[in-house]
Amino acid sequence: MDRIGEAAISAIFVVWWAVSALNQFHSGAWTHRLRGHVPFGLIPLWTFFAPNPARTDTRIVWRAEQAEGGWSGWREIYFGYAPVWRRWIVNPEMTFNKAVNDLVNSVARVRPETSERGILLVSSYLTLLSLVEAEAATDRPEAVQFAVVRTAIGAEARDFSIVFLSEPHAAGGTLAHVQQS
């Protein structure tokens, strides 16, 4: 009985390792379909900061259109960064910032040529919008709009660039037909 079990796990591990090795090529393109069937992220991609290392911080900023008209100033969904003195041992802020990065990278992977407004149906885009709506809820806005901003601390000052600007969305879930200001 033990021999059968040992043979069975050996077979599982050989297949698992081979699929994991394949997944390291072309950012996992060869195993994309298979990964859609395997839960819990059991097929790893371990290129760690390569080929393009994170050289910027990703931030989500949003603004709200008030009932009386006019847009608020831009505000940031800020999770903070752990102070240097403790982040080497406990760093829960990393999870928040990684989650935002995961969502933004997923939005960025959407090819614009697929459909001009196809991004509105992408789950990561909708999740970002949901986050913004939750953040803006206390303002009771008519509409919200968000942007993804990347920042880095340069030699002299903070560099930043806007990498994505959403459409204005009616608060509550339907698309707003408002003029961008």
Partner 1 sequence: MFSSPDLLASRLIFVGLVIEAIEMLALRGAFADGGVFSRSNIGILTAGTRWQMRIGATFGGPGLIGAAMGVQLAAAIVALVQGLGTPSGIAAALVCLATCGYLRSRRQIGGSGAEQLTFIVLVTFGLVMLAGGTPAARRIGDVFVAALLLLAYFASGASKAVAPIWRGGALAGVFSTECYGLVGLGRLLARHPWMDRLLCWSLIVWECLFPLVLIAPKPVIVASFAIGVVFHVSCAFVMGLNRFFWAFCGCYPSVWVTAMLLR
- Of the candidates 30, 66, 98, 172, which one interacts with partner 1 according to CB under 8 A? 98
Q: Which stretch binds partner 1 (CB under 8 A): 65-73, 79-87, 139-147, 164-172?
A: 79-87
Asked if 52 touches partner 1 (CB under 8 A), the answer is yes
Asked if 70 touches partner 1 (CB under 8 A), the answer is no
The number of beta carbons lying within 10 Å of the beta carbon of residue 95 is 10
The number of beta carbons lying within 10 Å of the beta carbon of residue 54 is 12
Which residues have C-beta within 8 Å of that of residue 24, sequence separation ≥ 6?
Answer: 45, 46, 47
Which residue, among 148, 116, 113, has the nearest Cα to 129 in the 3D structure?
Answer: 148
The answer to whether the CB of 149 falls within 8 A of the CB of 94 is no
Pick between residue 16 and residue 164 the one whose CB is nearest to partner 1.
Answer: 16
Residue with tokens 């709200």: 64
- Of the candidates 155, 177, 179, 180, which one interacts with partner 1 according to CB under 8 A? 155
Asked if 50 touches partner 1 (CB under 8 A), the answer is yes
The number of beta carbons lying within 10 Å of the beta carbon of residue 82 is 15
Instruction: Give me the least distance between CB of 147 and partner 1, in Å please.
Output: 18
Instruction: Give me the least distance between CB of 67 and partner 1, in Å please.
Output: 21
User: Quick one: DSSP state of residue 174?
Assistant: S
CA distance 36 to 23: 13
Interacting residues toward partner 1 by CB under 8 A: 1-2, 5-6, 8-10, 12-13, 16-17, 20-21, 24, 36-42, 44, 46-57, 79, 81-82, 84, 87-92, 94-100, 102-103, 123-124, 126-127, 130-131, 134, 137, 151-155
